[in-house]
Structure 1
């Protein structure tokens, strides 16, 4: 394979057939020049991007990032693939490297972001959350810095979203329509207009997006926590009444029943967003 461009001592862009790919290995491009050959035995990892724009973006990131960042990304994705028993696209290396670079910069400036999705990710995507926790441990060990566990949620979402990207266009349209319909049920039940810039509204919509994705995939989760469910029903009777309307809608649209856990989380999110809107 002939070198097209050298990004640093460890990374280069090479020609493979009519395509350009990125190759990585310790010292693979050291003292080499464009036009020279690199053998497959010299390469530790290849990255194949499906568009020229992505290739340019990844190339820029690799040219301006530290080698240990890429090594961390390689470790995290290898762990994630083993945990989920799947192979990810090379696009995840790009997005995760970008995320990691930004995260470490924020941590060094003591800028921390609390994820609004901690409940959902821990509860409904425990394996993905374990990947996030592993990533946090790698960051702390490699960079010798304190990385908050909220970052585990943010990193887990990269793996969750990657799986959701495999949905076909019809599923995406159905998901958007379903979220819209459920929001309409809430809006007309409580006779309110949403503040679409509020954190409670954003939390609700995000929860609905993941909820609908699970419905479309028939991925049902229920821990039978009936006591908590009963408490929330008693505390927020109007939210429970609204959820019963959503239950009928879900039954008709998906031939599926709401589980205790889904019902509980919907009541909590609906109570938060409607209480805030009513006060306003």
Structure 2
């Protein structure tokens, strides 16, 4: 195996003997001068093929132990899910877990109740989410709410093979593109569509639309957080109100304050990044 580009000390882009590019995890594989031939494959802990290049930036942002937790959850899920899951799931799930932990540390509780639809239409994915939350809590010695299982379940639902949009179903790509245009207009910025920051935002918008599709409401236990965000991030709130008007007109859906809070968190996160140029 040839190591061709360092991501960090323990992660690198490699090429296998069939000339297929992959991401490899292994202690110290990023140290030597690039490129080099790695003859001792025992140094490789994990490999990933077909990873979206936009997600590579996450490797410098998310702690390695979170990636390891995500990888173990995905390994468990692959033994339970019949459909093939997207190759990027370990990366997007690691980001989701990391953000959930950040919210937990800041005591930002966004409650997503278990719904009848989720429990019965996606029983396997919900079970994976429940097992994942218990595993995260045990390994990190924290106390994420069991409701986080819904968000993790939605990650796997979204990552299973994409189906063609049918009549009457939401065209997610168009809706997310329209929402992005609203954000760019309101903030007078140009958002790079090539970076992992935008890819992450798209994922979170997909989860919001999936919850709408399955009638899964977000119920926040902290109304004060919503009021605080409105005051502290007035520009973000104004932008989210424009998105709300679009959603009402396009989808016939009136988002709750809790869903607006979710939007504010992720719009603010998107626009605070350096790959949004004013």
Give TM-score scaled by structure 2 length: 0.56
Once residues 146 and 81 of structure 1 are traced to their aligned partners in structure 2, the CA distance between those partners, rounded to angstroms, is: 25
Deviation at 1:118, TM superposition (A): 3.4
Once residues 42 and 15 of structure 1 are traced to their aligned partners in structure 2, the CA distance between those partners, rounded to angstroms, is: 15
Match of 1:262 in 2: none
Deviation at 1:207, TM superposition (A): 6.5
Deviations 1:88-147 (A, max 9, x none): 221111211111111111111111111266332123212111100111012101211111
Match of 2:213 in 1: 209
Match of 1:121 in 2: 118
Deviation at 1:174, TM superposition (A): 4.8
1:10 touches 1:29 (CA, 8 Å); kept in 2? Answer: yes
Query: Does 1:59 find its partner at 2:93?
Result: no
Match of 2:5 in 1: 5
- Which among 107, 111, 119 is matched to residue 104 of structure 2? 107
Q: How many residue pairs align between the two structures?
A: 181
Match of 1:21 in 2: 22
1:120 touches 1:207 (CA, 8 Å); kept in 2? Answer: no
Match of 2:163 in 1: 167
Deviations 1:191-249 (A, max 9, x none): xxxxxxxxxxxxxx8567349xxxxxxxxxxxxxxxxxxxxxxxxxxxxxxxxxxxxxx
Match of 1:137 in 2: 134
Would you tell me which structure has more helix in proportion to its own residues? 1
Change (3 A) 1:35 1:207: closer
Deviation at 1:173, TM superposition (A): 4.0
Query: Does 1:154 find its partner at 2:183?
Result: no
Change (3 A) 1:46 1:102: same
Larger Rg belongs to: 1
Secondary structure class of the residue paired with 1:6 = strand
Match of 2:191 in 1: none
Which runs of 5 or more residues in structure 1 are unaligned? 178-204, 212-272, 274-280
Which runs of 5 or more residues in structure 2 are unaligned? 172-208, 216-253, 255-278
Deviation at 1:69, TM superposition (A): 0.5
2:129 touches 2:148 (CA, 8 Å); kept in 1? Answer: yes
Change (3 A) 1:206 1:161: closer
Once residues 91 and 70 of structure 2 are traced to their aligned partners in structure 1, the CA distance between those partners, rounded to angstroms, is: 9
Change (3 A) 1:95 1:206: closer
CA RMSD of aligned residues (A): 3.1
Deviations 1:73-98 (A, max 9, x none): 11111111111144422111121111
Q: Which has the higher contact order (CA 8 A, sep 6+)?
A: 2
2:114 touches 2:147 (CA, 8 Å); kept in 1? Answer: no
Deviations 1:170-195 (A, max 9, x none): x4445349xxxxxxxxxxxxxxxxxx
2:7 touches 2:30 (CA, 8 Å); kept in 1? Answer: no
1:28 touches 1:43 (CA, 8 Å); kept in 2? Answer: no
2:67 touches 2:91 (CA, 8 Å); kept in 1? Answer: no
Give TM-score scaled by structure 1 length: 0.56
